[in-house]
Structure 1
């Protein structure tokens, strides 16, 4: 079995992001049992990043979606030439949860998110812990977390809710969470503060290799690159970070 944990020079155990070139920026990969936020506007590659994180290893993945069903996500990933989702499905290693499918059609996306994270997710935690213990690790993807933030406008309650969610996620595995940037700094302030790392994706429209960039804004407990680096989309490869 190929482990998802990497060990780099001067690095502790790491969990690979799956994105070509990115792990070089963060000393070998994500730290195990952390929550890592991928921040960006629409079309910057947030979901694509999460598809890479699924990986080609034997580690099971829990994929939580608040906006799309599995067929939509599979088609979008395959359009980039990414096969990670198909591979995990064939191996029965992908646990896909479309939170919106179990709520009334009259519910808002925020109400759906709040119900999922405050009721459904805690009910599933024991099952997730058993999976993590059985396989020696677990990867979790939440794409996106933004609807929950819309519903919980009061900062105090938002902080309590997000803090509780992040603690639960850290207890069962390593998590990638996507967040929309375009709704203002105030909306995403709490999850960015509570996250273990923040990866900022930008579309600059410069028409060069710096048309799209990736910047590691925060990475607790480890050294990391702090400068913007070019981010490319390539058919078959998907996202590719240029580090040189």
Structure 2
């Protein structure tokens, strides 16, 4: 008798568990098949999720395997030594250098130097860099700026990424080089560039194609600073050369012969 009761109870338990399993599977299946309703819920939720504008790649400024930063400035050489100033940019106007791009691919580019001009007074440019700019599209900076009197102003440390060139590509000995650090913006050279800007003359603070040029001490300071970076001459370029927006022409009226002579004087 006890065996018959146990068999009945066992059969009842198995039937109950089977029924519950059918109900659960049916409810899950209806959720997967009911795509319009599910999509509507996902769309509603996605509008409440903030979009993170910064890539999650680890910064290049973290120590590498050899504990070496991306770039350092060596002591100046030669008899020429310019005056120096420090005018740090607001943290919103520069960032980290990344060892992987926005898609997780490793970055491997060697440093380049990009030469700019301010198209304004040096103080006006420095004031802009020292002002917080929360919007990504407004963020700009150079690593260094050279005044008309040759004074070198340091703005962003060399191991950090200055926002000196937006849509840009370096076409050099190794072919096309550029890095996407934010998928919402075009790729640029900023991740491996050291940006130096020359203060424009007073007759160059507009949209004209040319102006009276740069001073002798500006060329000397430019050569002196670039020599400190250790970047070879075939990786020295201009904003105009790397720009892909079609809107950048700087540094206008740049005299490559005077610059080359200044470099040669340092090497002598």
The TM-score with structure 1 as length reference comes to: 0.27
* Larger strand share, 1 or 2: 1
The TM-score with structure 2 as length reference comes to: 0.25
Structure number with the bigger relative contact order (C-alpha 8 A, sep ≥ 6) is 1
Rg comparison, structure with higher value: 2
